[in-house]
Amino acid sequence: MQQYNKIKSKYPDALLLFRVGDFYETFGEDAVHASKILGIVLTKRGAGSTSETHLAGFPHHSLNSYLPKLVKAGLRVAICDQLEDPKMTKTIVKRGVTELVTPGVALNDEVLQSKNNNFLAAVHFGKKYIGVSFLDISTGEFLTAQGNEEYIDKLLQNFKPSEVLVQKQFKQKFSQFKANFYTFYLDDWVFQHEFAHESLCKHFKVKSLKGFGIEDLVDGITASGAVLFYLSETQHNNISHISQIKQIHQDKYVWMDRFTLRNLELHASNAADGISLLDIIDQTVSPMGGRLLRRWLSLPLKDLQEIKERQSIVKYLIEKESDFEKIWGQIKSMSDLERLISKVATGKISPREVVMLKNSLLAISPIKEIGLKSGIEGLVNLANNLDPCPELTQKISQTLNENAPVNINKGNSIAEGVSEELDELRSLSSSGKSYLDQMVEREIERTGISSLKIAFNNVFGYYIEVRNTHKDKVPEEWIRKQTLVSAERYITEELKHYESKILGAQEKIAVLEQEIYGQLIDFLLQFVQPIQKSASQIARLDCLCAFAQNAIHYNFVKPVLDDSTDLDIKNGRHPVIEKQLPPGEAYIANDVVLNRNQQQIIMITGPNMSGKSAILRQTALIVILAQMGSYIPAQNAKIGLVDKIFTRVGASDNISMGESTFMVEMNETASILNNLSERSLILLDEIGRGTSTYDGISIAWAIAEYLHNHPTKPKTLFATHYHELNDMSESFDRIKNYNVSVKELKDNVIFLRKLVPGGSKHSFGIHVAKLAGMPNEVVFKANKILERLEKSHASEDVQEKLRQHKQEDLQLSIFQLDDPLLEEIKDEIMRTNIDTLTPIEALMKLNEIKRMLIKK
Ligand SMILES: Nc1ncnc2c1ncn2[C@@H]1O[C@H](COP(=O)(O)OP(=O)(O)OP(=O)(O)O)[C@@H](O)[C@H]1O
């Protein structure tokens, strides 16, 4: 227990699994936790005494099944092993922690999900920027970036790390990232640039980081250094598979912030059992392809050349069906190359997995051959980067048995003909069986004991067993070892001689097998980089095959991409809704044309449930798919490269974040208006609906006007219930009205779901309420109120006011920035407590401000 306490004190925040003989034991609080999580028995030791403690344990060979459960429960687990052979020491056996498993640093297949990366991240708050680093130790991928809070937030959302390392002093600051990450706080000194730079150079065995193109990323480097530090802290020292570090270039990919990722339901649906775009398009057949597709979806490209290269390969695969089938068949037969080769580097690969590695490499050659012959530049390049490593596959085939076991100690891993000594020992050990059979026969004949048998136990090795009825026939020279109820057990000189030979041979076989296996792994280590390179090409090809498959199965077409800023989609469809429609119901395709000269903003009105949101989202999804290099759900499309996609959905369910929903909506919209570019695509869905009608209309109007007049003229789809906004098209050239058509029957409405030019007059909200099963009384009453309100021309009032607003052409420039009046008005507004202000008081306040201006 002294030894235990000493080790435990070094890992106070981890659950310590303490190896005792054949068991891993836990003590005290750890035991209580472990027994609960693992469902194992909790016992007490030293009951009643001062050293009373809880105890729970499990057999050492069950580690692989129990460890993931502990890690998944969010625990850090320190594995403490016996570091010497108990037979060789007379005192307490030496023990030490050999691995600290945490959610972000896991190599165990049971903890990892095959189609998801398991990233460990570090965030460093620098003076100007925030640095971030992501490492997946199971694949060796190491990435870094730096930027403002929004960018880092977006990356964290994209990469969804299982664990984030943060400097202790920035605990508070990190909590501003509104995501629930498992976080571990490290001492401040770890986040020092010089220290980080030095650790990276040392790890990569280089003098500077220029070769990786990250030398200037001061904060990114600091974060990456913290990641490396953490690996050594958790005893992960065999990490030669982390052979490079790459920058995530902000300007290479389409910008989508976290709201957009969420609103578009790219990776996950917002509904509990809903379907995401990834669910629909992920037809990849290899784990590495699955992981890459997820990444591609978060980071659509902005480089025309790269997109076209992907498209050209997809086109080839669609047209050359037999090549496509052959390639995909080979990829299907592969195991997770990326993770297998990482296991080689970390020394955790089993003989069976080495055979799987070999078979996966063998599947590369046919793919390479097809690629080289294809004549498609992109595919030829890809094939050139595939290395089937023939030297390696040959070596593995020669060294290992095809059906090698999971555990090297099980024996029979090494093939015949590898070592003469091993072969001899094996034949000796296998001839033992027939030797024993012969001996039994001989002794039965000699002694006349017909039921005589030879067996083995761990206490005294080989023995002859004689039933009591034949006891008197036992020869004198046999030595009695054990008396049972109905039999006696003997040993003989000959048996002992035989035993030492056989047991010696078996022990030697085990040592030799391990030795040869160790040499094979050392040999494999030279191939880590070429295999990683091949694996990444296979992942790409798998994604492109999935694109081809989607194109064939879902009727997707190849979009035309160019450098313009125009968007012209013919008969576009929403790929997710389309797949979810009840049988027999067809998705109604729609055209969307947006450009910066004539049709910059489309104001879409239409009743509730008519399909406004669907049109907005499908437009973004089509652009994203196109810029990933995929084909798209449309009849055809011309897409000028988009560099930012913003989507905002009117206040709905963000209340859990502790801010008013409307405040959240305005915050989100403000961040769009501050980040516009000529190539932005903006989708605003019911912006302004979170407040009163007048406020809402005014805000929506002002936002649309701002976008229209902004020099970047960003392409915008604006879905709204406020048909008042249709008036904007009269005075703003590039705002066009469309509506999602419906057919009005006497007391019913049929949704036609077709986007047609022109505004719409009503919202049919009451009709939807009726459809939803609202009591007739309520529907009837609502209709009456609506009639009355419409008669009072309330909405026309608004329209009139808005018209006046246009005529007055309010010049905001009357506020000169240095104007003392501005200061005065600002003070006046700041002093006002809006929460307690009644509408009348607000009007009076406004009047007061107006008077101040008139006075001027
Ligand atoms: N083009 C279409 N073809 C077939 N079904 C569609 C189409 N568009 C939408 N739908 C169906 O109609 C439902 C409502 O669409 P959507 O949410 O886009 O309406 P909305 O006009 O935005 O409604 P609200 O104003 O109430 O938010 C979708 O969930 C989908 O099932």
Q: What span, in angstroms and rounded, lies between the C-alpha atoms of 544 and 376? A: 14
For residue 643, how far is its CA from the centre of ligand 1 (angstroms)?
27
The whole domain housing 333 covers 321-540
Bridge partners, residue 738, by sequence: 604, 757
For ligand 1, atom 31, the nearest C-alpha belongs to: 577
Nearest to 512 by CA among 427, 358, 403, 409: 409
Q: Is residue 375 part of a domain?
A: yes
For ligand 1, atom 5, the nearest C-alpha belongs to: 587
For residue 611, how far is its CA from the centre of ligand 1 (angstroms)?
3
Q: State pLDDT tens for residues 70-101.
A: 988 888 999 999 888 777 777 888 999 988 89
From 613, 635, 721, 755, give the residue whose CB has the most ligand 1 atoms within 8 Å, as the site to mutate: 613
The pLDDT-based confidence of 816 (bands split at 50, 70, 90) is: very low
What separation in angstroms does the CA of 340 have from each of 140, 235, 531, 847? 11, 20, 10, 73
Q: Which two tokens stand for residue 345?
A: 């580097």
For residue 751, how far is its CA from the centre of ligand 1 (angstroms)?
9
For ligand 1, atom 12, the nearest C-alpha belongs to: 611
Q: State pLDDT tens for residues 111-136.
A: 888 888 999 999 999 999 999 999 99
For residue 359, how far is its CA from the centre of ligand 1 (angstroms)?
48
Burial of 83 (0-12, 13-18, 19+ CB in 10 A): exposed
Q: Is residue 261 part of a domain?
A: no
Range with the largest mean pLDDT of 170-179, 468-477, 544-553, 576-585: 544-553
For residue 613, how far is its CA from the centre of ligand 1 (angstroms)?
6
Q: What span, in angstroms and rounded, lies between the C-alpha atoms of 669 and 257? A: 12
Same domain, residue pair 79 and 133: no
Mean of the per-residue pLDDT values of the chain? 87
Bridge partners, residue 561, by sequence: 639
Same domain, residue pair 74 and 135: no
For residue 685, how far is its CA from the centre of ligand 1 (angstroms)?
12
What separation in angstroms does the CA of 767 have from each of 588, 608, 738, 744? 21, 9, 21, 11
Q: Supply the pLDDT for residue 588.
A: 94
What separation in angstroms does the CA of 557 have from each of 125, 310, 603, 632, 755? 45, 14, 27, 5, 21
For residue 558, how far is its CA from the centre of ligand 1 (angstroms)?
26
The pLDDT-based confidence of 656 (bands split at 50, 70, 90) is: very low
10 Å Cβ neighbour count for 484? 10
For residue 149, how far is its CA from the centre of ligand 1 (angstroms)?
35
Q: Supply the pLDDT for residue 810.
A: 43
> Position 461: which residue type?
G
For ligand 1, atom 10, the nearest C-alpha belongs to: 611
Q: What span, in angstroms and rounded, lies between the C-alpha atoms of 638 and 567? A: 6
In this structure, are residues 632 and 565 in contact, taking their beta carbons and an 8 Å threshold? Answer: no
Q: Supply the pLDDT for residue 764.
A: 66
Q: State pLDDT tens for residues 211-252.
A: 999 999 999 999 999 999 999 988 888 899 999 999 999 889
Residues 6+ apart with CB under 8 A from 106: 71, 112, 118, 137, 138, 162
For ligand 1, atom 15, the nearest C-alpha belongs to: 611
- DSSP code of 582? P
Atom index in ligand 1 nearest the CA of residue 719 equals: 22
For ligand 1, atom 23, the nearest C-alpha belongs to: 609
Overall number of domains in the chain: 5
Composition of the chain by helix, strand, coil, percent to 5: 50, 20, 30
From 270, 609, 750, give the residue whose CB has the most ligand 1 atoms within 8 Å, as the site to mutate: 609
Task: List residues forming the annotated binding site for ATP.
Answer: 606-613
Instruction: Report the SS3 class of residue 607.
Output: coil
Same domain, residue pair 696 and 756: yes
For ligand 1, atom 24, the nearest C-alpha belongs to: 608
Same domain, residue pair 726 and 694: yes
Q: Which two tokens stand for residue 707?
A: 């976008």
For residue 609, how far is its CA from the centre of ligand 1 (angstroms)?
5
Q: Is residue 112 part of a domain?
A: no
pLDDT higher for 750 or 705? 705
Instruction: Tell me the pairing of strands 644-649 and 680-685.
Output: parallel
Nearest to 535 by CA among 292, 344, 247, 307: 292
For residue 403, how far is its CA from the centre of ligand 1 (angstroms)?
55
Q: What span, in angstroms and rounded, lies between the C-alpha atoms of 64 and 614? A: 46
Residues 6+ apart with CB under 8 A from 202: none
Nearest to 293 by CA among 258, 331, 241, 244: 331
In this structure, are residues 435 and 559 in contact, taking their beta carbons and an 8 Å threshold? Answer: no
Q: Supply the pLDDT for residue 690.
A: 62
- DSSP code of 422? H
> Position 117: which residue type?
N
Is the complex ipTM higher than 0.90?
yes
10 Å Cβ neighbour count for 398? 12
Same domain, residue pair 510 and 632: no
Report the share of the chain in percent with pLDDT over 70: 92
Q: What span, in angstroms and rounded, lies between the C-alpha atoms of 235 and 394? A: 33
Assign residue 131 the CATH number of its domain.
3.30.420.110
Asked if the model's pLDDT at residue 298 lies above 50, the reply is yes
Same domain, residue pair 533 and 574: no
Atom index in ligand 1 nearest the CA of residue 573 equals: 1
The least confident of 63-72, 505-514, 704-713, 784-793 is 784-793
| Domain end marker among 764, 794, 822 | 764
Q: Is residue 492 part of a domain?
A: yes
For residue 677, how far is its CA from the centre of ligand 1 (angstroms)?
29
Instruction: Report the SS3 class of residue 625.
Output: helix
Residues 6+ apart with CB under 8 A from 285: 328, 331, 332, 542, 545, 546
Q: Is residue 315 part of a domain?
A: no
For ligand 1, atom 8, the nearest C-alpha belongs to: 611
Sign of the C-alpha dihedral, residues 336, 337, 340, 342?
A: negative
Q: Supply the pLDDT for residue 85.
A: 78
Task: List residues forming the annotated binding site.
Answer: 606-613
In this structure, are residues 750 and 634 in contact, taking their beta carbons and an 8 Å threshold? Answer: no
Q: Look at phi and psi of residue 744 and say left if phi exceeds 0, alpha if psi is from -120 to 50, else beta.
A: beta
Atom index in ligand 1 nearest the CA of residue 763 equals: 25
- DSSP code of 415? P
Q: What span, in angstroms and rounded, lies between the C-alpha atoms of 332 and 326? A: 10
Q: What span, in angstroms and rounded, lies between the C-alpha atoms of 222 and 647? A: 33
For residue 571, how far is its CA from the centre of ligand 1 (angstroms)?
16
For ligand 1, atom 26, the nearest C-alpha belongs to: 608
Alpha helices in 555-691 (DSSP H): 575-580, 612-628, 661-673
For range 598-620, the mean pLDDT: 91
Q: What span, in angstroms and rounded, lies between the C-alpha atoms of 443 and 440? A: 5
| Domain end marker among 489, 510, 540 | 540
10 Å Cβ neighbour count for 676? 19
Q: What span, in angstroms and rounded, lies between the C-alpha atoms of 458 and 443? A: 23
Q: Is residue 213 part of a domain?
A: yes
Same domain, residue pair 432 and 520: yes
The pLDDT-based confidence of 856 (bands split at 50, 70, 90) is: low
Atom index in ligand 1 nearest the CA of residue 580 equals: 31
For residue 607, how far is its CA from the centre of ligand 1 (angstroms)?
10
Strand runs labelled E in 113-219: 120-125, 130-136, 141-147, 163-167, 183-186
Atom index in ligand 1 nearest the CA of residue 740 equals: 21
For residue 612, how far is its CA from the centre of ligand 1 (angstroms)?
6
For ligand 1, atom 11, the nearest C-alpha belongs to: 611
In this structure, are residues 42 and 55 in contact, taking their beta carbons and an 8 Å threshold? Answer: yes
Asked if the model's pLDDT at residue 821 lies above 90, the reply is no
Instruction: Tell me the pairing of strands 590-594 and 560-562.
Output: unpaired
For ligand 1, atom 6, the nearest C-alpha belongs to: 611
Q: Which two tokens stand for residue 196?
A: 């980080």
pLDDT higher for 649 or 712? 712
Atom index in ligand 1 nearest the CA of residue 754 equals: 1
Same domain, residue pair 718 and 636: yes
For ligand 1, atom 18, the nearest C-alpha belongs to: 611
Atom index in ligand 1 nearest the CA of residue 768 equals: 26
Atom index in ligand 1 nearest the CA of residue 721 equals: 25
The pLDDT-based confidence of 1 (bands split at 50, 70, 90) is: confident
Q: Is residue 271 part of a domain?
A: no
For residue 738, how far is its CA from the centre of ligand 1 (angstroms)?
15
For ligand 1, atom 14, the nearest C-alpha belongs to: 609
For residue 743, how far is its CA from the centre of ligand 1 (angstroms)?
15
For ligand 1, atom 4, the nearest C-alpha belongs to: 587
Q: Supply the pLDDT for residue 497.
A: 84
Q: What span, in angstroms and rounded, lies between the C-alpha atoms of 353 and 341? A: 10
- DSSP code of 414? B
For residue 214, how far is its CA from the centre of ligand 1 (angstroms)?
46
For residue 631, how far is its CA from the centre of ligand 1 (angstroms)?
23
10 Å Cβ neighbour count for 567? 23
Q: Is residue 316 part of a domain?
A: no
For ligand 1, atom 9, the nearest C-alpha belongs to: 611
The pLDDT-based confidence of 782 (bands split at 50, 70, 90) is: confident
Same domain, residue pair 526 and 574: no
Assign residue 664 the CATH number of its domain.
3.40.50.300
For range 491-508, the mean pLDDT: 85
Same domain, residue pair 23 and 73: yes
From 577, 753, 764, give the residue whose CB has the most ligand 1 atoms within 8 Å, as the site to mutate: 577
Same domain, residue pair 431 and 525: yes
Atom index in ligand 1 nearest the CA of residue 590 equals: 1
Atom index in ligand 1 nearest the CA of residue 685 equals: 22
In this structure, are residues 282 and 293 in contact, taking their beta carbons and an 8 Å threshold? Answer: yes
| Domain end marker among 512, 540, 568 | 540
Residues flanking ligand 1, CB < 6 Å: 577, 587-588, 606, 608-614, 753
Q: State pLDDT tens for residues 717-730.
A: 999 888 788 889 98
Same domain, residue pair 53 and 162: no
From 581, 585, 610, 749, give the residue whose CB has the most ligand 1 atoms within 8 Å, as the site to mutate: 610
The pLDDT-based confidence of 653 (bands split at 50, 70, 90) is: very low
Q: Supply the pLDDT for residue 657.
A: 43
